[in-house]
Amino acid sequence: MSQEILENNVASEPSTGEQHFPPFEITDDIVALADERITHYPESKLSAVLPLINPLITS
C-alpha cells in the first residue's frame, strides 16, 4: 500500500474548531499522569481508560 493512498484515506477535512483550538499535544506531564493512573489498575489497563480521558477533556 502506498503512503499516499493511506494518507488520503486517513486524512480528514479540517474542522471549524481547529481555528479556535490548537492541535492536541501529549506532554511529559500527561505521560507521567497516565503512568501513575495505570498503576491503580493492575488487572486491566483498559479499566484505566476513563480516568485517563477525564483530565484531557476537562483541561
Q: What is the pLDDT of residues 30-49, one digit of tens each?
A: 889 888 888 888 887 778 88
Are the C-beta atoms of residues 41 and 47 closer than 8 Å to each other?
yes
Higher pLDDT among residues 49 and 59, named by residue: 49
pLDDT at position 6 over 60: yes
pLDDT at position 57 over 80: no
Are the C-beta atoms of residues 33 and 55 closer than 8 Å to each other?
yes
pLDDT at position 1 over 60: no
Share of the chain above pLDDT 70, in %: 88
Closest CA to 52 of 21, 36, 44, 42: 36
pTM above 0.75, yes or no: no
Q: Which three cell numbers stand for residue 15?
A: 474542522
